[in-house]
Amino acid sequence: MFNKEFLKNLTILYVEDEEIARKQLEKVLNRLFKEVIVAKNGLEGLQKYQEDKLLENSKIDLILSDINMPQLNGIEMLEKIREKNDSIPIIFTTARSETEYLLKAISLNASYYALKPVDIEDVVEKIQKVCEKKYFEKLIEEKNIELKEYLKVIDNVATIFKMDSKGDITYTNRLFSDTIAYSKEELIEKNFHTLISKNIDKNILLDLWKTVKTDKTWKKDLKFEDKNGEVIYIRSTIFKTANEKEEYISIGFISTEEVNQKREFQKKLITNIKEKNLQVAQSSNNLKAYENRISYLENELKTTKQKYLDQRTQIEYYENEMLGLDDKVIKNLKVKNSEIEDLKAIISNSKEEREKGVKKYNELSKELVSAKAEIEKLQEKIEIKQTRVDDLLNLVEVREAQLRKYDESFEK
């Protein structure tokens, strides 16, 4: 299922040397994406990519490219790009299984490849998956930066320390160590209970551990004694951390008149931190799901690659047979070309075929296009005839292949 709103935020670089295929796919891509930058060969694709990188706000999110192209093929273009950028995703299209190219593409960290004729729905789905993964990675990075900024603010106004399930301190910030007159080194592995005033109600500590052990947050004033025996009241919030270790963190504010005036502001900061932690956790889960999907697709790619390796000998045999075509086959090809022309004439006069083509085009348009109805009707008239011609040309190619096999078996 396409996320059309997400796709409308993406800019892709589309590189294809075959003019008819390029123009057809370009029209569809322009309806789905924010911008489609088009190049006619690998050299032009590289130049447009480099021009985009010189802009203050680089636009290109993904590259969709053919492999076999003049001047600079798709693999050579990607090699040049990888010298400067090892992360921009790329999807290759190819007319047939070119094993040596595909192996090189894998080594250059290509995201996917698709065989021609291109299945538009499949390619768009792959583009969406790749770009969503990049989006979530960037989102997690931004949330982590934002979280660090919040922690910096709190670190300057709050006493913070971490402790394990036994109460042994594993981390303390400078404000807490300064408040109770111990150095950070002295506090590490010092038990939290030894810092609490001896005349505190023991039920308070029992309630504290009972609460945090059930993953709840405990909030109350704690009475500490510093290194010199002076009593300090700290309004403490203690809760279990989200990491795998059984570890607890205490965020506290010294109970002075000045701090009490800022307490509302500080509570909001703590709430924001929890929300940011939750957002980061959710983003991490989404990223993990995409990573599992990528692992599955990589295994599928390996299976497919082995399949084409096994067929390579057979492909080379048929290619050699094609090079050895004799006059008889050439004559048959001319006859077939004549039949193609007759079929084209039939196509131009066949109202029934046009209506079938219109129906098929409308079915595809419902899934891919949300444009206005009047624009779709104008585009249908342009694309229907070309769609039918392509279908018949493919049919003729199949028939020609059948004739060649028949001729070959006859000669044998």
Residue 377's domain spans which residues? 325-411
Q: Domain of 219: which CATH number?
A: 3.30.450.20
For residue 319, what pLDDT is reported? 52
Q: Which of 237, 261, 285 is the last residue of a domain?
A: 261
Together in a domain, 120 and 175: no
pLDDT score of 261 more than 60: no
Among the listed residues 29, 101, 118, the one whose alpha carbon sits nearest the alpha carbon of residue 67 = 101
81, 19: one domain: yes
In a domain, 286, yes or no: no
Residue 109: pLDDT over 60: yes
pLDDT tens across 275-297, in order?
767 776 676 666 676 667 667 66
Secondary structure E strands in 226-335: 231-240, 247-254
- In terms of Cβ atoms closer than 10 Å to its own Cβ (0-12, 13-18, 19+), residue 56 is exposed
- Residue 142: inside a domain, yes or no? no
Dihedral over alpha carbons 145, 147, 148, 153 (to 10 degrees): 130
> What pTM was estimated for this model as a whole?
0.42
Residues 114 and 184 in one domain: no
Residue with tokens 């291109």: 118
Across the range 330-353, mean pLDDT stands at 69
Strand 112-115's sheet: what is its strand order?
A: 35-39, 11-15, 62-66, 90-94, 112-115
Residue 199 binned pLDDT confidence (cut-offs 50, 70, 90): confident
109 with 181, same domain: the answer is no
| pLDDT at residue 163, as a whole number | 92
CA-wise closest residue to 21 among 104, 115, 102: 115
Q: Is residue 306 part of a domain?
A: no
CATH number at residue 21: 3.40.50.2300
What's the CA gap between 382 and 412, in Å, rounded? 46
pLDDT tens digits for range 46-95: 999 999 988 878 889 999 999 888 889 888 999 999 888 888 899 888 87
Structure confidence at residue 390 (pLDDT): 79
C-alpha angle 205/208/212, rounded to 5°? Answer: 150
Distance between CA atoms of residues 10 and 46, nearest Å: 19
The percentage of the chain sitting over the pLDDT mark of 90, rounded to a whole number, equals 19
**Counted domains in the chain:** 3
Last residue of a domain, one of 233, 261, 289: 261
